[in-house]
A and B are shown apart, each in its own frame.
Chain A
Amino acid sequence: MSEPEVFSAIRSDIENNDVVLFMKGTPVFPQCGFSNTVVQVLTYLGVPFKGVNVLETDELRHGIKEFSDWPTIPQLYVKGEFVGGCDIIREMFENGELREYLAAKGIEAEPAQQ
C-alpha cells in the first residue's frame, strides 16, 4: 500500500523545522482551545515554532492523524520526533519536563520578557 501523498509534505515540515505544531488555526488565531493551550505554552517558553494549520486541507487534517497514529489535534514535533498532544505538553510543561526536554534537544527556550 503506498502512503498518502500528504505524508511527504508532513515529513518535509518536521525535517526542516526544529519545532512544528500541527494545529487548528494559526499561532496568531488558534481556532481550538487545545491548540491554543500549546501555543500559549510554547510562547511562554519563548520557543520559536512553525505552526501548520491542519484546517487548510482535508488531506492534512486526516493525514497527520494517520502519520502520527494519534487521533487528535494539536500535535507537537521537536526535531522530527512526536512529543505529544495537548495533555502531554501541558503535563510536561507543568512539571518542568518540557523545558528540560527542549534544552536536551538543543532548542533555546527563554521565558517571555515581563
Chain B
Amino acid sequence: MAMSAKEIETLIKDALPDATVEIQDLAGDGDHYAAVVVSKEFEGKSRVQQHQMVYKALRGQMGGALHALALQTSAPNA
C-alpha cells in the first residue's frame, strides 16, 4: 500500500502547479517520507492552511496509503 515519491510529487503538483517539491524517502521503505513544498499559493496563508492544501492535494492518501509524510511548507522568499 506504499506510495512512491514520484506519485506524491505528481499529486502535489497537480494541485499546486507552480510548486517546487523535494521529497526524501526517510527509511527507504516507501512509507516514511519528508517533503519540502514551496509554492506561491502559500502566500498569506497560515502554516495550518498550507499543510491542509497539501493534504487536500494528496486526496485522502495521507493517514491511509501514505503512513508518514513530514511536511515543511513555505512561500518563495521575496
Contacts and interface: CB of A to CB of B under 8 A. Distances in A.
B47 A71 contact: no
A84 B47 contact: yes
B48 A88 contact: yes
Nearest to B55: A71
Interface in A16-57: 34
Contacts of B63: 65, 71-72
B48 A83 contact: yes
B72 A91 contact: yes
Bin chain A's interface residue count.
10 to 19
A87 B51 contact: yes
Contacts, number: 30
A71 B72 contact: no
Given A87-B70, A87-B71, A71 B60 contact: yes
A112 B68 CA distance: 30
A88 B52 contact: no
Interface string B19-38: 00000000000000000000
A67 interface: no
Nearest to A68: B48
Nearest to B61: A71
B72 A87 contact: yes
Contacts of A87: 51, 70-72
Nearest to A82: B48
B2 interface: no
Given A84-B48, A88-B47, A72 B72 contact: no
**Closest 6 CB pairs between A and B?**
A71-B63, A71-B62, A87-B71, A88-B47, A71-B55, A87-B70
